[in-house]
Structure 1
Amino acid sequence: MSDHLLEHVRPYLDRDPAERIAYVRAPRWIGHQVAQRGHERLADLLARPPSLRTQGLMLVGPYANGKTMIAERFAVEHLRRSSEQRLWMIQTREGAGLGHFYGSILQALRAPGGDLHDVNRKAEQLDHLLATLKPRMLIFDEFHNALRGRTRDLEAVFAFLRRIGRQYDISPVLIGEVAIYDFINTTSEMASRFDLFAVPRWQYNEEYLMLLDSLEAVLPLARASDLSDERLARRIFNLSEGLIGEIVAIVTKAVIAAIRSGAERVTKASLDRLHYLPISQRRNTPMREELL
């Protein structure tokens, strides 16, 4: 009856509903083809020979599409395999100017940030840390946060990215929305320093159906739902608008509802009962009008 589940998932069918729901809600890695190719690109960049003009990488795509998870998983695997930390992930702060940008890096390196406006002091502190830690890669998540300032602020950030390559042999990885691609390609000089790895919306194809099969195999329902069947797969795809974060959210909500109701499987009718709204439709909904 549980042949549709992976072997390590089947014992969860004997747990109480609260434990099963907690397991369903837990974050999980989905090793789809785009993610695997992303890891290959990051691994190639980390393994490159020393250079005075390092190459960087852009991971660009729409929100809620797994870009951060690809990078975080790569960073975790690196820490597990390597005795020496060679990359750091940085959450780029919102706000214009080098003060905010330097603060993001110092926080990731677990250094005190100090006065936000003392940019020279931050630069000295950062130079000392980079010389000491000798990272080969800095991954800037939500780098589009750094692109909202004045032209001179952006020029200073890009100058810093060029300098860390020349001075410290560091490859920057920029993660975020398509604005990153647009800004990097404003000048040929910056465009020549960054390769692109696109993380586009999913298409309704065999790879998407395989993703649904993978999800069904790790979410403990006693009965098979056949998520990759045309009616269910098409419904999930339309609701998610091709975003993997939304695909996982929809399936997760449907599985939790199936556990609570005792149905133990997802159907098109149970999907409809979720009343799930695609992201593009949430701005002008009757529910929003009730909030005014």
Structure 2
Amino acid sequence: MADHLLDHVRPYLDRDTEERVAFIRAPRWIGHHTALEAHERLADLLSRPATLRTNGLMLVGPYANGKTMIAERFAVEHLKTSPEQRVFIVQTREGAGLAHFYASVLQALKAPTGNVRDVGRKAAQLDHLLASLAPRILIFDEFHNALRGRTRDIEAIFAFLRRLGRVHDISPVLIGEVAVYDFVNATDEMASRFELCAVPRWQYGEEYLALLDSLEAALPLAKGSDLSEEKIARKIFSLSEGLIGEVVAILTKAASVAVRSGAELITMAMIDRLGHIPLSARRQAPVREALL
């Protein structure tokens, strides 16, 4: 019975509706090929020998494609196995300039930021903290936020990234959209310091169909939905535009409806009723026009 479900998911069929919906809506790790490769690359940075010129990594791809979850999962796994924290995730702040960038790092290290304009004091504070905490990897999520300022500010941020390796033996990891790749590869000096780990949009094919099968097995519905069947798989692919975050969002909403309605499976009609608008079409959506 319910052979399409993973063993740890099957018991949820006996839970009440709200418990099942809460389980469906909970964040879940999807160990697809690109995610596993990224974890291997991050593990290599963590285990490398000490050096005076560290290499870094870029995780680059479109929005809503799982880059942040890859980084967060790696950091959590590291904390479970290491007695001390050697991997920190910096949520790069909106706002141009070195001061905002330093404030992002200080926040990640759980340090007070003080006067946002006092760049010199922040630099000294960071040097002290980095020497004390001795991180191995600093992951800068949404690094493209730091690339919207004046040229001299961006140059100063890249100088800081070089200093991380030269002075503190830290490998920087930059997560963001294609602008990150463009800025890093604008000079040979920076290009030589960062390897690319691409997180591209999914293509319609066997790997994508396997993704649908794995998601179906993780959603506690009593009946099989056959999500990898051509017609419904194409529909989900079209609406998601090949973005894993959008695939998960569509199936999460549809599975919640399936539980609450008693249907116990996801159908084409159910997905149609969601009224999901692809990301690229949201600026021109009829609902937006109604707001004017």
The alignment-based identity, stated in percent, is: 74
Secondary structure in 2 aligned to 1:46?
helix
Q: 1:36-95, CA deviations, whole angstroms, 9 ceiling, x for partnerless residues?
A: 001000001111111111101000000000000001000000000111211111000011
Q: Which residue of 1 aligns with 2:256?
A: 256
Structure 2: gaps spanning 5 or more residues: none
1:61 and 2:61 correspond: yes
Q: Quick one: which amino acid aligns to residue 138 of structure 2?
A: L
Give me the whole-angstrom Cα distance separating, in 2, the residues matched to 1:254 and 1:137.
Answer: 38
Q: Structure 1 residues 73-82 or 279-288, which shifts more?
A: 279-288
1:181 and 2:181 correspond: yes
Number of equivalent positions: 292
Q: Which residue of 2 aligns with 1:245?
A: 245
Q: Which residue of 1 aligns with 2:279?
A: 279
Give me the whole-angstrom Cα distance separating, in 2, the residues matched to 1:9 and 1:186.
Answer: 48
Once the two structures are TM-superposed, the CA of residue 277 in structure 1 deviates from its matched residue by: 0.9
Give me the whole-angstrom Cα distance separating, in 2, the residues matched to 1:99 and 1:274.
Answer: 43
The aligned runs of 1:103-182 (5 Å cut-off) are 103-182=103-182
Q: 1:147-198, CA deviations, whole angstroms, 9 ceiling, x for partnerless residues?
A: 0110100010000000110001010000000000000111111111100000
Give me the whole-angstrom Cα distance separating, in 2, the residues matched to 1:269 and 1:184.
Answer: 45
Q: 2:277, 2:285 within 8 Å by CA — same for their partners in 1?
A: no
The CA RMSD over aligned residues, in Å, is: 0.7
Q: Which residue of 2 aligns with 1:210?
A: 210
Once the two structures are TM-superposed, the CA of residue 232 in structure 1 deviates from its matched residue by: 1.0
Q: Quick one: which amino acid aligns to residue 247 of structure 1?
A: V
Once the two structures are TM-superposed, the CA of residue 20 in structure 1 deviates from its matched residue by: 0.7
Q: 1:244-263, CA deviations, whole angstroms, 9 ceiling, x for partnerless residues?
A: 00000001111111111111
Give me the whole-angstrom Cα distance separating, in 1, the residues matched to 2:85 and 2:289.
Answer: 50
Q: Which residue of 2 aligns with 1:196?
A: 196
Once the two structures are TM-superposed, the CA of residue 12 in structure 1 deviates from its matched residue by: 0.9
Structure 1: gaps spanning 5 or more residues: none
Once the two structures are TM-superposed, the CA of residue 98 in structure 1 deviates from its matched residue by: 1.0
Q: 1:97-116, CA deviations, whole angstroms, 9 ceiling, x for partnerless residues?
A: 11100000000000000000
Q: Quick one: which amino acid aligns to residue 103 of structure 1?
A: A
Give me the whole-angstrom Cα distance separating, in 1, the residues matched to 2:285 and 2:211.
Answer: 30
Give me the whole-angstrom Cα distance separating, in 2, the residues matched to 1:186 and 1:10.
Answer: 51
Q: Quick one: which amino acid aligns to residue 18 of structure 1?
A: E
Give me the whole-angstrom Cα distance separating, in 1, the residues matched to 2:110 and 2:272.
Answer: 46
Once the two structures are TM-superposed, the CA of residue 16 in structure 1 deviates from its matched residue by: 1.2
Give me the whole-angstrom Cα distance separating, in 1, the residues matched to 2:220 and 2:197.
Answer: 34
Q: 2:38, 2:70 within 8 Å by CA — same for their partners in 1?
A: yes
Q: Quick one: which amino acid aligns to residue 238 of structure 1?
A: S
Secondary structure in 2 aligned to 1:196?
strand
Q: Quick one: which amino acid aligns to residue 148 of structure 1?
A: R
Give me the whole-angstrom Cα distance separating, in 2, the residues matched to 1:248 and 1:116.
Answer: 38
Using structure 1 for the length normalisation, give the TM-score: 0.99
